[in-house]
Chain A
């Protein structure tokens, strides 16, 4: 009797592994990207920042799917043209801890959507709002601000040496035995 109960318990525990991260590929509302009041500067009338009304910052930030989508879009939309895979070039580096306009998701989202002085173009109307949030989440993850269980890994071609399965065998030093 006892082993049966234990087996049942084990089976019940195994069910916990069936939980899968939600993939939210459809925007929750058809609201346009221009409607959300996201601060672009700390200087607000009355000295008070409006609080962000979008819950996407929280739901996209640590979501593996959205982070990897952001990585894909970062390449597709040629962000590397100026930011060079996050290392910085014509544009500032994204993988350090320096944030000219703040490190919050809302700030990065506003940077991509509305642009910034000295070169950052505005992508309002060019990138759907959800995709901007995905990009913002990925940019934030570049400096280690996302849980490592969710953050996308580095591309093979960015590694300092070829991947392990393409390395010469350490035991034989590349010579066939």
Chain B
């Protein structure tokens, strides 16, 4: 019975470890910073586990062993007393060495993290909003500066500098597979350097409680080969695709006439709001509403029809639209690839 229970326990632990891999896990590192941190946590955990086992054994030994009766209790036994003193002093010395050692290990890991950004190829401003991420790609040429939302494309294998700030409350940027977390603070700029070793999609999450929809404030770091990244940047700089069907044309008109236009921007149209996510290429993104919904026609319609049902408390208001109007706007947005 006991054996069965222990097997079940081991299986449960093994199964729960399954959750430690995938696109959002600090234990499944995909970049130098995350590797360094993962190594650090495993090293700390391993060493502390060994120390813990040794301490437990040392505590258990006197309990298990029956103490020998001294023949003459009052006679001093210099040899035995010295041995005890040596054991205690060795343990104290080892503790000091281990503590200093761990401090040094942590210090050098920090230096490795700081060295990642020694020659950054790209600077991206990430601004936290309740509850989405504004992403602005800096460039020396003003016409190449690009603003998008919730998805951060980076060239794989190159260090990228993120400048983090916020407009409302404190958020925290955390893509566990790539780096540790760093806060986005209103009125203050934090700098985080990240690097992805291989192309891939890595999920990130706001890691500082920031209000009702903190849990639905996700982001994606999409690492691509340099050529693909440059092509993506050039595509995103283009104005929005002109609507093709009559329905989509009606949708564009409605977008410009209804409250959408007050907050959102669509490049190439008069819509120029900057307080909500840029929708110039909204359909090229993988998710909607900061990782809340996957991108699809149905989800676009659901989000526009009832944002307060999907993400209660978000700043996207319920707009009074008829079914046909909703369909037209969705048809238009769906074409903004």
- A122-177 contacts to B, CB under 8 A, are 125-131
Question: Is A127 within 8 A of B259, CB to CB?
Answer: yes
Residue of B261, B262, B312 touching A25 (CB-CB under 8 A): B312
Residues of the B chain whose Cβ atoms lie less than 8 Å from the Cβ of A77: 262
Q: Is B275 an interface residue (CB 8 A)?
A: yes
Q: Is B48 an interface residue (CB 8 A)?
A: no
Bound form: Cα–Cα A72–B275 in Å = 10
Interface centre among B262, B308, B313 (most CB of A within 10 A): B262
Instruction: Mark B243-275 against chain A: 1 for CB-CB distance below 8 A, else 0.
Output: 000000000000001110111000000000001
Question: Is A76 within 8 A of B261, CB to CB?
Answer: no
Q: Is A10 an interface residue (CB 8 A)?
A: no
Question: Is B320 within 8 A of A30, CB to CB?
Answer: yes
Residue of A27, A32, A128 touching B259 (CB-CB under 8 A): A128
Residues of the A chain whose Cβ atoms lie less than 8 Å from the Cβ of B309: 26
Nearest CB of B to A26, in Å:
5
Nearest CB of B to A123, in Å:
8
Q: Is A23 an interface residue (CB 8 A)?
A: yes
Interface centre among B306, B309, B320 (most CB of A within 10 A): B320
Question: Is B261 within 8 A of A32, CB to CB?
Answer: no
Secondary structure type dominating chain B contacts: loop
| Nearest CB in chain A to that of B312: its residue | A25
Residues of the A chain whose Cβ atoms lie less than 8 Å from the Cβ of B261: 126
Q: Is A36 an interface residue (CB 8 A)?
A: no
Bound form: Cα–Cα A126–B92 in Å = 72
Question: Is B262 within 8 A of A126, CB to CB?
Answer: yes
Bound form: Cα–Cα A25–B37 in Å = 41
Q: Is A33 an interface residue (CB 8 A)?
A: yes
Residues of the B chain whose Cβ atoms lie less than 8 Å from the Cβ of A32: 320
Bound form: Cα–Cα A25–B303 in Å = 15
Bound form: Cα–Cα A40–B258 in Å = 23
Nearest CB of A to B277, in Å:
14
Residue of A30, A125, A131 touching B317 (CB-CB under 8 A): A131
Question: Is A33 within 8 A of B262, CB to CB?
Answer: no
- B293-337 contacts to A, CB under 8 A, are 306, 308-309, 312-313, 315, 317-320
| Nearest CB in chain B to that of A69: its residue | B315
- B6-51 contacts to A, CB under 8 A, are none
| Nearest CB in chain A to that of B320: its residue | A32
Bound form: Cα–Cα A76–B308 in Å = 19
Question: Is A76 within 8 A of B275, CB to CB?
Answer: yes
Nearest CB of B to A23, in Å:
7
Question: Is A25 within 8 A of B259, CB to CB?
Answer: no
Question: Is B312 within 8 A of A128, CB to CB?
Answer: no
Known: A25-B312, A25-B313, A76-B263. A125 touches B318 (CB 8 A): no
Known: A23-B313, A76-B275. A129 touches B320 (CB 8 A): yes
Question: Is B258 within 8 A of A126, CB to CB?
Answer: yes
- B67-103 contacts to A, CB under 8 A, are none
| Top 8 A-B pairs, shortest CB-CB distance | A26-B308, A76-B275, A25-B308, A128-B317, A32-B320, A128-B319, A128-B259, A27-B318
Some 10 contacts from A to B, beta carbons below 8 A apart, are A23-B313, A25-B318, A26-B308, A31-B320, A32-B320, A72-B315, A76-B262, A76-B263, A128-B259, A130-B318
